[in-house]
């Protein structure tokens, strides 16, 4: 996708419909999720609209299933140059009136719309057209007055939800002399608390995050969702492009609500209280040595010690095994090693490069 505008639109659309296409859903659950998405407001690229209809969401989902990210790019309108029944200005007015008073009846709304029209030659809106629009946009009385749904943040299967975050680490010797602070990027599987990958880096930049993500996918497979905070690196176009290519839904936790990432915060606490507390930093020769020690601790201690957040006497490694076997319908294996290599990964990161057809992720 060479056009930056088209790619931005495609990535925006993918971010909306990912939850509809990345899991096997019943028709009822698919429609429930679509209706839930249609009730929200969005900053839509190059559009004055703020909502997306259920029908449009389902259409985008179908296009993605058939053609991937490329199919979500904007298509030339077949009705270009022709007027539509409901203009963007009229749509905004209808939405404002219904949100101001969800108890408005259709008859009352039609009368108010007719009175507010500046063009007496404009054909009146039919009741059927208005109702169809209200239903598609989630603006009926029933939809507006429905209580919001609250779901418990908990994964049932391995690779259903991953969490990622960064922790400031210890100061270690810098190549050539002096000291540098090591930054720990980690990715945690929500269901099992297993760590697909964690590594100390010389900085907290985007390249470090992408490398950690690449190694996690190569080691443990492709997650359905990746929960992250609102940091700049987690909102980068490169990460969004990789997620859309692999088929991952990136979920940003709301500001000031860190409880969604509580499990990885607990892992970081274990790193501080167990790994770093028992580490003699004077014996650490550099970044590579620190990461070798970290990996040994994760594989031999953390993964094999019963975890307080799991069933009694259950280790992350044991839970991963059972969560993986019970998730055969949803658990996606790692892509072939050639695709997870640094070179192939970089082709996806760069906008002007694409993977050969034989190296598709999906």
Per-residue pLDDT at 141: 86
Q: What is the pLDDT of residue 75?
A: 67
- Using left for φ > 0, alpha for ψ between -120 and 50, and beta otherwise, residue 223 falls in beta
More confident residue, 93 or 347: 93
Q: What is the mean pLDDT of residues 345-362?
A: 48
Q: What is the pLDDT of residue 314?
A: 94
- pLDDT tens-place string over residues 272-290: 999 999 999 999 999 999 9
Q: How much of the chain, in percent, has pLDDT values that exceed 70?
A: 79
Cα 219 to Cα 195: distance, rounded to the nearest angstrom: 10
Q: What is the pLDDT of residue 25?
A: 86
Query: What average pLDDT does range 136-153 have in this prediction?
Result: 73
- pLDDT value of residue 210: 95
Q: Look at residue 162 in the predicted model and tell me its pLDDT.
A: 95
Residue with tokens 């979500």: 72
Residue 165 has pLDDT above 90, yes or no: yes
b/e 301-332 (16+ beta carbons within 10 angstroms → b): ebbeeebeeeeeebbbbbbbeebbeebeeebb
**pLDDT above 90 for 97:** no
Mean pLDDT for 8-19 is 88
pLDDT at 116: 73
| Amino acid 319: pLDDT | 92
For each of the domains in the chain, give its residue range(s) and CATH number, in order of start: 4-72 (no CATH), 88-145 (no CATH), 161-359 (3.30.420.10)
| Predicted local confidence at residue 202, as pLDDT | 96
Contacts of 181 (CB under 8 A, 6+ apart): 168, 169, 170, 171, 172
Pairing status of strand 179-189 against strand 161-173: antiparallel
Sign of the alpha-carbon dihedral angle for 37, 39, 42, 48:
positive
Per-residue model confidence (pLDDT) at position 357? 35
Distance in angstroms (rounded) separating the CA atoms of residues 338 and 220: 15
Going by C-alpha positions, the residue among 65, 53, 55, 60 that lies closest to residue 23 is 65
Checking if the pLDDT of 239 tops 80, the result is yes
Give the Å distances, CA to CA, from 340 to 184, 220, 222.
21, 12, 11
Taking CA atoms, 334 is separated from 55, 187, 211, 253, 337, in Å, by 33, 15, 15, 26, 8
Mean predicted confidence (pLDDT) in 247-255: 82
């Amino acid at each position: 996708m060479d056009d930056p505008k088209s790619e931005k639109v495609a990535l925006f659309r993918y971010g909306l419909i990912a939850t509809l296409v990345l899991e096997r859903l019943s028709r009822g659950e698919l429609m429930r999720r679509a209706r839930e998405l249609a009730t929200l407001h969005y900053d839509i690229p190059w559009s004055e609209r703020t909502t997306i209809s259920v029908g449009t969401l389902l259409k985008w989902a179908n296009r993605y299933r058939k053609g991937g990210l490329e199919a979500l790019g904007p298509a030339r309108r077949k009705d270009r140059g022709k007027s539509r029944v409901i203009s963007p200005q009229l749509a905004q007015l209808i939405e404002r009136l219904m949100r101001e008073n969800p108890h408005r009846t259709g008859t009352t709304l039609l009368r108010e719309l007719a009175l507010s029209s500046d063009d007496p030659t404009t054909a009146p809106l039919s009741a059927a057209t208005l109702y169809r629009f209200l239903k598609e946009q989630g603006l009926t009385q029933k939809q507006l007055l429905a209580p919001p749904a609250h779901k418990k943040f908990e994964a049932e299967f391995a690779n259903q939800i991953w969490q990622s975050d960064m922790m400031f680490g210890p100061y270690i010797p810098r190549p050539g002399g002096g000291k540098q602070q090591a930054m720990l990027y980690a990715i945690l599987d929500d269901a099992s608390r297993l760590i697909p990958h964690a590594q100390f880096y010389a900085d907290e930049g985007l390249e470090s995050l992408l490398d950690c993500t690449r190694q996690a996918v190569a080691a443990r497979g492709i997650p359905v969702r990746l929960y992250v905070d609102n940091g700049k690196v987690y909102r980068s176009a490169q990460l969004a492009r990789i997620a859309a290519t692999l088929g991952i839904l990136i979920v940003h936790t709301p500001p000031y609500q860190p409880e969604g990432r509580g499990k990885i915060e607990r892992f970081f606490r274990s790193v501080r209280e167990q790994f770093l507390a028992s580490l003699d930093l004077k014996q650490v020769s550099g970044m590579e040595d620190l990461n070798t020690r970290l990996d040994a601790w994760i594989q031999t201690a953390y993964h094999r010690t019963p975890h307080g957040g799991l069933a009694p006497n259950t280790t992350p490694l044991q839970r991963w095994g059972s969560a993986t076997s019970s998730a055969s319908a949803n658990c996606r294996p790692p892509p072939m090693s050639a695709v997870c290599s640094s070179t192939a990964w970089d082709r996806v990161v760069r906008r002007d490069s694409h993977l050969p057809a034989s190296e598709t992720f999906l």
